[in-house]
Amino acid sequence: MNHGVPPVAGLLARLRSLWHGLRRRDEIEAEMNEEFRHHLELRTEDLIRRGLPPAEAARRARLEFGHVESHKEAARASRGLRLFDRLHVSWLDVKLGTRMLAKYPGLSLVAVVGMSVAIAIGAGFFGFIEMMLDPTLPLDEGDRVVSIQNSDVRNPGNPDRRSLHDFVLWREEVESVEELSAFTADRRNLVAPDGRVELVRVALMTASGFRVARVAPILGRPLVADDEREDAPPVVVIAHEEWQRRFDGDPGIVGRQVRLGTALHTVVGVMPEEFRFPVSHRFWVPLRLDPADYERGGGPAFFTFGRLADGVTLDGAQAELTTMGLRMAAAFPATHEHLRPRVLPYTYDWVDVDSPGVALALRGAQFAISLLLVLVAANVAILVYARTATRTGEIAVRSALGASRRRVVTQLFVEAFLMSATSAAIGLLIAAVSLEKIQAFQTRAYDDLPFWLDPGLSVELVAYVIGLAVLAGVIVGVLPALKATGRRMQAGLRELSSGGSRMQLGRTWTALIVAQVAIAVAVLPYAIYIAGQSVRRGLAAPAYAPEEFLQARLSMERVEAPPSAEAAEYERAFEARYRDRATELLLRLEAEPGVVGATFASRFPGRGVYHRVEVEPDRRRMGTSYADSVREGRVDDGALVNAVDIELFSVFDVPVLAGRGFETADGREGSNAVIVDRVFAERVLGRDDVLGRRVRLVDGRDPESGEVKRGPWLEIVGVVPDFTDQYGLEPVDPKIYQPMTLGGAPANLTLAVRVRGGSAAAFSGRLREIAADVDPALQLHELRTAADAQREAQWGLRYTALGTVAVTLSVLLLSAAGIYAMMSFTVVRRRREIGIRAALGADPRRLLQSLFARAGAQLAAGAAVGLLVAVAVDRALGGGPLSAYGGLLLPAVAALIVGIGLLATLGPARRGLAVQPTEALREE
């Protein structure tokens, strides 16, 4: 009945009406009465006009109207108010609840902060999982778009994408999947009309791909089959955004020529806004493939996709492909013996979570994260319980005046729900802002983010958060309420007369305190450790000025898979040309007036490939335990290894601390000189006698023989500082630098260009120009300043740090508040006893001692359990966090928690001692 109203607008209208109904309940009842009366009057008048006597008319009108009360009841139900009537929730409860929130600001604040953080984390994770588990293509019948891949039965996780021959066959024969298409992604230099050069992502796609997407261009035409011919002129289809940005929305764009890579292309069409098919693309060129160029099983790798034919299911298509695959395996055992085609949802390759195991694990993680809220809520419940205990008198009076238990519980639930709903709203807001930030960051940092990934607020997410709020409300409100309104109601009345509060707690209470302290002691060190790590890494800065450096990966446009016959020759020529062009580019850069220096490495300094490292035993110092352990493989120590230009250290102004820098001779083949950083020298070698020591890199085990693969021995000739990232307290990864010259460099280098006066960002355009001038095929990937790269790398860390700090603080706050509440409550409970003992002449010091003895025992027991758990977990995880701060973290946290507990005892204990014995006695 309600499809005319958009779901959100409809929901809003309902909530508004409900809100209105709850707030102005009496007014609405009155209006309903008035409306009914008006109706009856009009009807009566009508009937009188038709000739009935007034009395009879009135009777008839009432008769026709039907039973007024049941209509009213139905009307309330229509407004959604009946549910509230059933729950016995009234506006009064809401008002009372709000008043309670304001009356106990400390409790409200602690509860809302704690629950907000927990809900924000739960919601954020839920949004992420929804995105991963349920990615739907935002296309017409997007769920019917599928991909086909050849899966190797021996290694199913690693599909064989070099299936050109199979693709041609599938295209001809497969009936259950239509418009079978292929695409592969590449990057090309685009020269804009104003001469600016930019590296853009290009989809090389068969023309049929546009028919799979079912999206038509807004200008011109899509790619057509003729464009795929080898001799067809080069054409390109561009995205609406590129048309606007680079060509100022030129209406005559179709037919214009642009340089894309090494060739001029004619623009033939413009796709509509936000069209990014197949993944995140804005430029489309035809995919030209000739199976005749390649042997079976050879050729370029590409992604195959299509649409399920009408009425065919995924399983149906799979059945057809399986049959075909078996036939191929029999016909071409050499290449196809182990290959089986699989039909998969289109998004499978990007979000590989269709395996039930992974999905289950994600759901499990989500459940665990939801449990965080349960923990927090349980803590809040303890606080609320303590408060409820002080209200037993009020509750008893209300019961005596006729309020049912359900009524009282409902009121307490509403109070709790107000807190949890506030937290849910705040948590949802935090989650929404964070998700938006993540999305914005990802779009900025990764231009290849699939177009269907959109971690936003969904209806499901909001429902999940409301569910969390209700759950928290139940834990916080209902559980303490049930206990408080239990069998001891009568006692409550008695208490009211004596003016004290006395809820029986005993062993449960002690257990709660011990558990609370134990959890805090066990969990906090880890949280602090993770937060500390993230903060340090997130704030680390290099010794050089990162804004002076431009970095980029240098590659060259190439034929991905040259025809089999020419492949070897092509590779040789390609590498030679790459080195030649890279040399020219570096020379040109160094000649630029604004450039201080240009250098290269396999990775930008600070990055590298992690290797396990073996250190040659030092004959002079046999028995050096740590190095020996490393050598024997008992300690898994390693380093980031990076091959660098022999000039790199001088371009970065890095001093050599000991030994020498690289020399020209080090770049020659057969050289075994390496330079290590201070961290490596100190941590792996133990500081002194570093020069001349020999190390070798371990490349893991050979999968077949199981043998450990070791590189040659390398001699340390120099030590440099840790110039890439200085972490203050504690260094991170040790680093090894190997020398490299352009002559022996791989065709995939990282450039580092130092610009005078710190204006590196401004030089990036010029750098692209020079590169394009050297060779239009030269490509600069991820060109940005080192400062930007660092910001991007640290972005996630900063958020992790922020999140961990928020969680840590809220856990700490809650534990502290919980312990405080429990401790002070224990003391309050013994007030009378203390007063009486004082009256009987007990020594105040002894009284105090007895109070603290009990609290101390509980706290100590909790701390001991927490310490044991923490140590056990640390052992199980192989050590690390707890020893990181010299083993001080755990005892410090334990001391802090116990300190809070003792402080919490102090106040109430002093109040207890101040009780006048006469008062205490009178209370009895």
- Does 17 help bind another protein (rule: CB under 8 A)? yes
The answer to whether the bond into 278 is cis (omega within 30° of 0) is yes
Asked if 734 and 683 touch (Cβ cutoff 8 Å), the reply is yes
Given candidates 14, 296, 407, 798, which one binds another protein under the rule CB under 8 A?
14
Closer to another protein by CB, 30 or 565: give it.
30
Total count of residues recorded for the chain? 924
Which of 7, 10, 106, 633 forms a contact with another protein (CB under 8 A)? 10
Of 28-36, 233-241, 298-306, 314-322, which part binds another protein (CB under 8 A)? 28-36
Number of amino acids touching another protein (CB under 8 A): 38
Instruction: Give me the least distance between CB of 44 and another protein, in Å please.
Output: 11
Say whether residue 9 binds another protein (CB under 8 A). Answer: yes
Query: How far, in Å, are 146, 152, 280, 301, 531 from residue 149 at the CA level?
Result: 10, 10, 20, 11, 42
Q: Does 12 bind another protein (CB under 8 A)?
A: yes
Compute the C-alpha angle 503/508/511, nearest 5°: 140
Q: Which stretch of DSSP H or E encloses residue 260? A: strand 257-260
Distances (CA, A) of 340 to 169, 323, 325, 330, 356: 14, 9, 5, 12, 21
Burial status of residue 17 (CB atoms within 10 A of its CB: 0-12, 13-18, 19 or more) = middle
Please identify which residue in the block is written with the tokens 């309050």: 828
Tell whether residue 702 is a contact of another protein (CB under 8 A).
no
| Nearest distance in Å: CB 58, another protein | 14
Name the minimum Å distance from CB 41 to another protein: 7
Comparing CB distances to another protein, the nearer of 1 and 102 is: 1
Instruction: Rule CB under 8 A: say whether 154 interacts with another protein.
Output: no
> Of 45 and 715, which CB lies nearer to another protein in the complex structure?
45
Query: Under the criterion CB under 8 A, does residue 845 sit at the interface with another protein?
Result: no
Nearest distance from residue 12's CB to another protein, in Å? 7
Q: Which of 52, 75, 761, 839 binds another protein (CB under 8 A)?
A: 75
Nearer to another protein, 35 or 702 (CB): 35
Note whether 8 binds another protein by CB under 8 A. no
Give the separation between CA 701 and CA 267, rounded to whole angstroms.
Answer: 51
**Cβ at position 87, least distance to another protein in Å:** 18
Burial class (CB in 10 A: 0-12, 13-18, 19+), 391: middle
Residues 780 and 773 sit within 8 Å (Cβ to Cβ) = no
Per CB under 8 A, which region of 13-21, 246-254, 498-506, 644-652 contacts another protein?
13-21
Minimum CB distance to another protein, residue 61 (Å)? 8
Query: Which of 2/705 has CB closer to another protein?
Result: 2
Q: Rank residues 3 and 620 by Cβ distance to another protein and give the closer one.
A: 3
C-beta of residue 666 within 8 angstroms of C-beta of residue 650? no
Q: Quick check: 459 binds another protein (CB under 8 A)?
A: no
Tokens of 152: 């190797």
Contact segment (CB under 8 A) with another protein among 34-42, 472-480, 570-578, 639-647 equals 34-42
Report CA torsion sign: 60, 64, 67, 69: negative
In the complex, least distance from residue 35 CB atom to another protein, rounded to whole angstroms: 5
List binders of another protein among 35-74 (CB under 8 A): 35-36, 38-39, 41-43, 45, 64-68, 70-71, 74
Bridge partners, residue 413, by sequence: none
191: β partners: 197, 259
- We find the least distance from the C-beta atom of residue 3 to another protein, in angstroms, to be 6
Out of 25, 29, 32, 171, the only residue in the binding site for another protein (CB under 8 A) is 32
The angle subtended at Cα 700 by Cα 697 and Cα 702, nearest 5°, is 125
**Residue 34 or 436: which CB sits closer to another protein?**
34
Q: How far is the CB of 22 from another protein (least distance, A)?
A: 13
Whichever of 33 and 625 has its CB closer to another protein, that residue is 33
Q: Strand runs (DSSP E) across 93-196, as ranges?
A: 145-152, 155-160, 177-191
From CA 827, how far away is CA 833, in angstroms rounded? 10
d(CA 269, CA 274): 15
Instruction: Name which of 9 and 622 has its Cβ closer to another protein.
Output: 9
Does the footprint of another protein cover residue 1 (CB under 8 A)?
Answer: yes
Closest CB to another protein among residues 64, 226: 64
Shortest distance in whole angstroms from residue 14 CB to another protein: 6
Rounded to a whole number of angstroms, the minimum distance from the CB of residue 213 to another protein is 29
Q: Could you identify the residue written with the tokens 């002690």?
A: 510
Contact call for residues 426 and 114 (beta carbons, < 8 A): no
R_g over Cα of the chain: 37
CA distance 652 to 224: 51
User: Where does this chain touch another protein (CB under 8 A) — which range of 12-20, 138-146, 416-424, 482-490?
Assistant: 12-20
Tokens 């919980």, residue?
818
Contacting residue, 25, 48, 52, 79, with another protein by CB under 8 A: 79
Cβ contact 379:479 at 8 Å? no
Q: Which residue in 31, 248, 290, 773 binds another protein (CB under 8 A)?
A: 31
Rank residues 48 and 185 by Cβ distance to another protein and give the closer one. 48
Q: For 535-566, give one letter per residue: b (16+ CB within 10 A) or e.
A: bbbbebebbbbbbbbbbbbbbbbbeebbeeee
Contacts to another protein by CB under 8 A? 1-6, 9-10, 12-14, 16-18, 31-32, 34-36, 38-39, 41-43, 45, 64-68, 70-71, 74-75, 77-80
